[in-house]
Amino acid sequence: MNDKKAKSAASRILSERVQNLSPSGIRRFFDIIASMDDVISLGVGEPDFVTPWHIREAAITSLESGHTMYTSNFGLMELRQEIATHIRKLYEVNYDPSNEILVTVGVSEALDLVMRSILDPGDEVIVPEPTYVSYVPCIALAGGVPVDVPTSMGNSFQVTASDIESRITHRTKAVLLGYPNNPTGAVMTRDAMLEISKLAIKYDLTVISDEVYDRLVYGVEHTCFPSLPQMKHKSVLLGGFSKSYAMTGWRIGYACANSEIIEAMMKIHQYTMLCAPIQGQMAALEALRFGETEVENMRLEYDRRRRLMVNGLRSIGLDCIDPLGAFYTFPSIKNTGLTSEEFAEQLLIEEKVAVVPGSAFGESGEGHVRCCYAVSQNEIEGALERIGLFVKKLK
């Protein structure tokens, strides 16, 4: 079968919804890296730490004890209780473990569930840009319409309530926030969040707050959106274990919201996923009970690397905001005259350093690249040296 025929066969088989989805902006780079040796990758989106041993050990013990069955659709009650306690201690928000918390397969599933639970075809969701790569596809797959709000370095990549308000129409259903932010490293101030909470009341919007990087902030306090006045019942909190506890592969996240939304999300979850894997849930339980020291140690280590990366990029001439959260820097490469795709591709081929082009995170990411500093100090130093050589050659 030739390519044309194969394509037309696919278009008959595949849904229009899927065919309209843009391919991932990083797939092409993945293939190039796979064919190369000695690449320093700053293109990763997960911790370089292995899950702390006591957490792995708890999962091993659970297997030895025969914990191999389904759990409640909502997740293990003990885990939901610990999540409730954890959020109450950190942010003074009370969620009822019996009907306001759902344990999911990572935050990714929680995001998909919430979109499918609240959106009807044509409903609009406002999303600040640059945006995490899954947000727009998840909205579109649920039949919604993503409405982007560009942010820029000038405002430290924080979204303003007035910019959000200018996008609100009679079809606006929700606002999706992701702070601390992937890819920019931006953190929202409490005051800026408060202004957005006023919009939620004024226009009766739901705010979906992806706070998977909540524990990774540097020198500032994280504002948990549901902790703002009247926001517990106007928001859906998405959280997880991947970043704070270095547990990406375990795929455990959670959603907290009013019982109506959680019940709706659980309905989809029970038919499509049934429950999150029990080993991951047991590991998450151990993480919440005894993992605090490691969370802080890893945060301190990221903070050291963050300084090294930011100062190094600036000394090369690539300006960036002081990223106060997550583990990414998002330097501007505009002064090189290259697009972010050109910069990333040439840097990879000529100097063997992988970064993610900012355009992968939406149009307003153009002119930037994402550099992850969850890599070793040696790798950061090596990468900075290579990026420095690359930028010098361009001048």
Q: Does residue 60 interact with other proteins by CB under 8 A? A: no
Single out the residue of 99, 81, 98, 100 nearest to residue 89, CA to CA: 81
Q: Does residue 349 interact with other proteins by CB under 8 A? A: no
Q: How many CB atoms are closer than 10 A to CB 63?
A: 12
Q: Does residue 7 interact with other proteins by CB under 8 A? A: no
Q: Does residue 43 interact with other proteins by CB under 8 A? A: yes
Q: Does residue 88 interact with other proteins by CB under 8 A? A: no
Choose the binding region for other proteins from 3-11, 31-39, 88-96, 287-295 (rule: CB under 8 A).
31-39
Evaluate the omega torsion of the peptide bond into residue 130 and state whether it is cis, within 30 degrees of 0: yes
Report how many residues bind other proteins under the rule CB under 8 A. 28
Choose the binding region for other proteins from 68-76, 187-195, 224-232, 308-316 (rule: CB under 8 A).
308-316
User: Which residues pair with residue 356 across a beta bridge?
Assistant: 370
Q: Does residue 30 interact with other proteins by CB under 8 A? A: yes
Binds other proteins by CB under 8 A, chosen from 6, 14, 50, 60 = 50
Q: How far is the CB of 57 from other proteins (least distance, A)?
A: 14
Nearer to other proteins, 230 or 315 (CB): 315
Q: Does residue 39 interact with other proteins by CB under 8 A? A: yes
Q: Does residue 46 interact with other proteins by CB under 8 A? A: yes
Q: Phi, psi at residue 253, to the nearest 5°? A: -135, -175
Q: Does residue 304 interact with other proteins by CB under 8 A? A: yes
Cβ atoms of 101 and 95 closer than 8 Å: yes
Tokens matching residue 94: 């009370």
d(CA 321, CA 155): 9
d(CA 370, CA 323): 12
d(CA 368, CA 67): 46
d(CA 77, CA 92): 20
Q: How far lies 26's CA from each of 43, 84, 168, 344, 358, in Å?
A: 9, 36, 31, 10, 10
Q: Does residue 22 interact with other proteins by CB under 8 A? A: no
Nearer to other proteins, 265 or 360 (CB): 360
Binds other proteins by CB under 8 A, chosen from 307, 337, 349, 392 = 307
Footprint on this chain of other proteins (rule: CB under 8 A): 24, 26, 29-30, 33-34, 39, 41, 43-46, 48, 50, 132-134, 182, 300, 304-305, 307-308, 311-312, 354, 356, 377
